[in-house]
Amino acid sequence: MKCRVCREPAVIDLRRHNANFCIEHFLRLCRDQVAKAIAEHDMFAPEDRILIAVSGGKDSLALWDILLDMGYQVDGLYIGLGIGEYSEQSVTYVEKFVESRDVNLRIIDLPTEYGYDIPSGSRAAKRTPCSACGLSKRHLFDQAATEGGYDVVVTGHNLDDEAAVLLGNTLRWQSDYLGRQKPVLPAGHGFPRKVKPLVRLGEREMAAYCVLTGIDYIVDECPKAVGNKHLGYKEVLNLLEAQSPGSKHDFYAGFLARAVDRFASAEDETIDDRPALRPCTACGAPCSSEVCAFCRLVERATQDVPVKLGPTAKKEPTSL
Ligand code: SF4
Ligand SMILES: [Zn+2]
Ligand SMILES: [Zn+2]
């Protein structure tokens, strides 16, 4: 097995590219794919201040490493979800990464700063754990980006994630979700710009990137992911990919090139129909009702305890 570029011994085969690569040329391929995604979707400029959401998993840590290597200014944000051993371990991988590089990390711990964890919050709010978790993370990413004056929030969603979400949305023809499934969500209505620079790379490539660069990451999945529909969609797509390499990429890239804009116009109409946003009376975040969904979740999760306001309302100094 020889590297396609230099003919030296290869360490990885990428069937989608019908080629094998040595360490140096595989790492270069990963960086090139990220650079291509950033340029193709006009994600951010070299002078932009970037906030990356990190979980301790392979994708976000590999992406942070790649963006730093490319010379971008990238600070990290980790949210402690209070999901037992999984959360206790995942933060240690993030801290280890940060120790080895000269970068800023902000940690927001839900149990200590907001008085609830994802298991208790989901029970109190009668939401699934992933729904309570997604709501909490979105709110805190937006808030941290706005307070910190960042130009853009970056997440480590990769090609496997996006293809699985696309399959789920297509199976149900959820036109509003399909219209928003772009790797760039523009800033607006008081929300920051959000981008996904890993959309050209899959899970296997990101795991290999971490192994080859010595980045330690939490290998275990979050225990709340068990039974998650997206894991099932990923399995289906993996079967298709095994039979026909490149299927995931063609499915997702073809959607972006030929279909997403048709759904985006349907989405624009639904945005126009939405009530105007106004500041949440508890935390100031833009929302369509008096109190935003996050503050309502905090209130329910902490029961009779008054709503604990986040750093915006308390104007606490941040570590960034
Ligand atoms: S699997 Fe669900 S609960 Fe676990 S981190 Fe992901 S969204 Fe949160
Ligand atoms: Zn090579
Ligand atoms: Zn609020």
Interval 206-232 mean pLDDT: 94
Angle (CA) 66 76 206, round 5°: 35
Which pair of tokens denotes residue 130? 């992933």
Query: What's 303's DSSP letter?
Result: T
Interval 29-33 mean pLDDT: 98
Q: Which CATH number fits domain 40-275: 3.40.50.620, 3.40.50.300, 3.10.20.30, 3.30.930.10?
A: 3.40.50.620
- The ranges assigned to domains in the chain are 40-275
Interval 136-144 mean pLDDT: 97
> What does the longest C-alpha to C-alpha distance in the chain come to?
67
State the pLDDT at residue 15: 94
State the pLDDT at residue 276: 77
pLDDT exceeds 70 at position 50: yes
CA–CA gap between residue 223 and residue 70 (Å, rounded): 34
Q: To 10 degrees, the CA torsion angle through 60, 63, 65, 68?
A: -120
The dihedral sign for the CA sequence 211, 214, 219, 225: negative
Give the position, in ligand 1's atom list, of the atom nearest the Cα of 129: 3
State the pLDDT at residue 313: 42
Angle (CA) 84 310 217, round 5°: 35
Interval 195-212 mean pLDDT: 98
State the pLDDT at residue 85: 97
Print the SS3 string covering 178-198. HHHCCCEECCECCECEEECCE
CA of 302 to the centre of ligand 3 (A): 15
Interval 182-192 mean pLDDT: 93
CA of 33 to the centre of ligand 2 (A): 16
**Global confidence as pTM:** 0.91
Give the position, in ligand 1's atom list, of the atom nearest the Cα of 225: 1
Interval 25-50 mean pLDDT: 98
pLDDT exceeds 50 at position 316: no
CA–CA gap between residue 62 and residue 82 (Å, rounded): 24
Give the position, in ligand 1's atom list, of the atom nearest the Cα of 223: 4
CA 251 to chain centre: 20
Q: Please, which pLDDT band fits residue 318 given cuts at 50, 70 and 90?
A: very low
* Ligand 1 mutation target, pool 222, 230, 234, most atoms within 8 A of CB: 222
